[in-house]
Structure formats: C-alpha cells, structure tokens
Amino acid sequence: MTERVLNILRRQGKRVHCLFDGDLINNLSSSQVKLLIEQIEEIGSVRKNLAIFDYQLKPEKFDLYISSGISPMIVPSDKDVYLALECLDVINNQQTDILCVGVSDESMLPILVKAREKGEILLIGQTKESVKNYMPYIDYLITINDIAENTT
C-alpha cells in the first residue's frame, strides 16, 4: 500500500492523544523516537503529541521532537501537574479513543485510573517492572527498554 492509503486508513482508526513526561523520552536517539512514534501509530491515528519538560532543551533535541511530530512544551515548574492537567483536558474535552501517556514514575496513577473509565490507555514506561502498579488499568504497553533493544 502507498503511504497515502495508509494515512487514510489510519484516520479511520482509533484516535490517539499522546502526552509524555519529558524526562522519559529525553535520552532517546532520533531512531528510537521514530520507532516509538511508529509503534503508537500502529494502534491508531495520533491527534495530539505533546512532551512536557520543566527545563530548557538543547536546540538539536527541540528539532528532533518537532521533526518527529512531538510538540515540546516547557513549563515553569512541576511538569507532573501540567501533565495531569493535559490528561484531564484530553479525557474530558477531546474526542479520543486511546490516551497514550509516557510516565517516569507513579504520579499519574490516579489520573489513569479515572481515564480508564472513559477509554483505552496506552502506557509508555521505562520497564515493565517500573510500571507494574499501572498494569490493571492499561490496555497497551510500550517500554523504552524494548525500543532501545530494537534499535541497537
């Protein structure tokens, strides 16, 4: 199939909104970021792709995210609060079938428990062990370690 046909088919699939903790994806190479986005697009059509940072990015990292379709958002203080607010906005105000959340700790667990009532959850975590408490509330899991192994 051509890329055009695949894009049309993706649009008819599930709507995915992605929100990442910037610390989780900051150490990924460009090929790893690309692989992550490709794996997410296999599940559905990405409508929002936002990474939240509480520090300035190097210009090459900023360009990497933009070229991969990820919008970096730099916030003045605790990024977990902004990530939680974005999640609540997505589940309450936007048409989404799958909420994709990249987490580096367990701070998002209460939000994802609530979000699970409204749709499916795709979790991006460092390892399966680091996200074990999320497991009863998620439908899909992608680990950064698996991505790193697939690109080395």
Q: Supply the pLDDT for residue 45.
A: 87
Domains and CATH numbers, the chain: 3-151 (3.40.50.1010)
Q: What is the pTM of this model?
A: 0.86
Tally the residues of the chain.
152
- pLDDT tens figures, 28-83: 888 999 999 999 988 888 888 999 999 999 999 999 999 989 999 999 988 899 99
- pLDDT tens figures, 69-124: 999 999 998 889 999 999 999 988 878 889 999 998 888 999 999 889 888 999 99
Q: What is the mean pLDDT of the chain?
A: 88
Question: What mean pLDDT is predicted for residues 2-30?
Answer: 78
Q: Supply the pLDDT for residue 17.
A: 93
